[in-house]
Amino acid sequence: MTNLLITGGAGFIGSHTALVLLEAGHRLVVLDSYANSSPEALRRVAELAGPGAAARLQLIEGDIRSEHDLERAFAACSALGGKPADAVIHFAGLKAVGESVAEPLRYWDVNLSGSRQLVGAMQAHGCRTLVFSSSATLYGYPETVPIPETATIAPINPYGHSKAAVEQLLADMAASEPGWRIARLRYFNPVGAHPSGRIGEDPCGIPNNLFPFVSQVAVGRREQLQIFGGDWPTPDGSGVRDYIHVMDLAEGHRAALDVLLAEGPQLLTLNLGSGQGHSVLEVAAAFEAASGRPVPLKIVERRPGDAAITVADPSQAAQRLGWRTSRGLADMCRDGWAWQSANPDGYEA
Ligand code: NAD
Ligand code: WQD
């Protein structure tokens, strides 16, 4: 049984991954400030994980930028498992592209300074195994699609710049002393929810991302989906993305952790995506089919900073982790709808 520290574990991806890791028998300490999440998510995770799981899950409310809060989290790890943390999975961060343009300092502070503080605490506690939430946003406007990990890193917004900086920091750490086991996982477009509909994505305010927006239209919280551009060089003119079911993504984290713990020190850099592209129009139609509700839509101007098509080349993850996605667009819509219809106002309802 391993002792894991999960930063940002109450969030969308963190909560689903926490469930998969509890089900795999690990002990977890979650450090989260609830800046963009609710403790209710983890209460439900413990409930889904079944009898006895709650005793293997401890929550620490705190900030990754605070040395004091990190100390509390590492101390909780030792207390929970009788030994120091074996690994850290680092989800905590800010992720809204538009907000990062308006507030770059906050993004550099939370994403870069927070990660720097965390890595320092790991070093102080002799923990050198880390799985980091990176993003396909690093590729900016990709030169080739599907996108391999060797593609040029060229982010086009402060959020992306902060992720690129953390990736570089982790590469520098891995080169600085032997022993580091680091996975930098570049997610494409995570969507959907646990099939129970008990946990899911609960964005604050108007969703920036397509999937939560579509599901809020289907449930009647918003009137209409605006499609950002109908003249992209794609088969139906709307933008194409690589959507990945959040449960596939959660299982990808478990696979990456298993590889890091089983193998020697290394720096793994992997795309986590399906390798399949779907257009905005396809997503809207699939969501209508899954929900039985109409998704009224209107084509409007392109959104600044969008690329026509981003799709992962996921072959490295398959080779190194023995992991690949198993859920398709219909599953993402079915499970996303199970969450949205049972929790129309999210966790705080
Ligand atoms: P999320 O906002 O749901 O989860 C992030 C969690 O971090 C939240 O629970 C939030 O409260 C917490 N947090 C924020 N600042 C904190 C701080 N200073 N100290 C402690 N906790 C803090 O987002 P998510 O979608 O689950 O994303 C998780 C990670 O994956 C992020 O690092 C994000 O950049 C990355 N990522 C997300 C996507 C996506 O589309 N969702 C894609 C690629 C990468
Ligand atoms: C998907 C498609 C839009 C909303 C973002 C971040 C990226 C990563 C994942 C964190 C695009 C279109 C959207 C709407 C629309 N996050 N769209 N109407 O832009 O691929 O990636 O989330 O790392 O960094 O940039 O995702 O869901 O915003 O958009 O037509 O109301 O849907 O133009 O084609 P994106 P998205």
What are the chain's domains? Answer: 3-348 (3.40.50.720)
pLDDT tens digits, 103-114: 999 999 999 999
Please tell me the distance from the alpha carbon of residue 46 to that of residue 59, in angstroms, as a whole number: 11
For residue 95, which atom of ligand 1 is closest to its CA? 34
Mutate to test the pocket of ligand 2, among 303, 310, 329 (most ligand atoms within 8 A of CB): 303
Q: Any catalytic annotation for residue 159?
A: yes
Mutate to test the pocket of ligand 2, among 110, 189, 222 (most ligand atoms within 8 A of CB): 189
pLDDT tens digits, 248-289: 999 999 999 999 999 999 999 999 999 999 999 999 999 999
- The pTM is what? 0.99
142 lines ligand 1 (CB under 6 A): no
Please tell me the distance from the alpha carbon of residue 340 to that of residue 212, in angstroms, as a whole number: 9
Helix (H) or strand (E) holding 29: strand 27-32
Compute the average pLDDT of residues 7-25: 98
Please tell me the distance from the alpha carbon of residue 190 to that of residue 273, in angstroms, as a whole number: 8
Preceding omega of 314 cis (within 30 degrees of 0): no
The alpha carbon dihedral of 132, 104, 207, 242 has a sign of negative
Rg (CA), the chain: 19
Whose tokens are 């926490």? That residue is: 18
Helix (H) or strand (E) holding 106: helix 104-107
Residue 108 Cα to ligand 2 midpoint, Å, equals 21
pLDDT at 349: 67
Nearest Cα residue to 133 out of 272, 319, 321: 272
Q: Which of 34, 107, 141, 159 is catalytic?
A: 159
Residue 209 Cα to ligand 2 midpoint, Å, equals 5
pLDDT tens digits, 213-248: 999 999 999 999 999 999 999 999 999 999 999 999
Contact 153, 238 (CB under 8 A): no
